[in-house]
Amino acid sequence: MLRRELERRLESCGYANLEWYKMLQDIASVEEVTAEISDKKIIFRSELKGCAGKVFQAAGVAMPPSVRFGG
């Protein structure tokens, strides 16, 4: 059911031809790394690969910035 809803949303955004397993790989490649420098946490997000950005957009999920400061 979730897959069908995501496919419907992708189609409504004009991304109907994306391959399911490629989408899963691209989404799974998104990672975050936390570094602590001078007692401050800095969180780095990996670059979005392939269609990951399109999938998150169609799902209505906002991606965190590529660099942000943690608490």
pLDDT tens string 20-58: 999 999 999 999 999 999 999 999 999 999 999 999 999
Place of tokens 């001078």: 38
At residue 6, the pLDDT reads: 93
Q: Note if the pTM is more than 0.75.
A: yes
Range of the domain at 54: 2-69
At residue 64, the pLDDT reads: 83
Residues 6+ apart with CB under 8 A from 17: none
- Segment 2-27 shows an average pLDDT of 93
Q: Report the domain count for the chain.
A: 1
At residue 71, the pLDDT reads: 65
